[in-house]
Amino acid sequence: MGRYEIAELETAAIAAGQASGDIFYRLGLMYSTGGAVETDRVTAHKWFNLAAMRGNAEAIRLRRELAAEMTEAEIATALRAAREWAKGR
């Protein structure tokens, strides 16, 4: 997936607001695995958290796995970013 598609997904996530967690899950997956974007655990955790808040079970599992590889400071940053994102919607 290229940068255009990622920007498209992020735009869809912003527009989705209260939509299902699938878009958020896909963004978390992209940022956790890299490829189309540089791997970013904090951003991946943020998107997985937002997907988990919308009931995506796979996001809950992957967020837990990812958190095991992160520092407490990284997790705190990711949680803050998710809260700020959700608050702005």
pLDDT digits (tens, 9 = 90+) for 12-58: 666 655 567 888 898 899 999 987 789 999 999 999 999 999 999 99
What's the predicted TM-score (pTM) here?
0.82
Q: Is the dihedral of CA 7, 75, 61, 52 positive or negative?
A: negative
Q: What is the pLDDT of residues 45-71, one digit of tens each?
A: 999 999 999 999 999 999 999 999 999
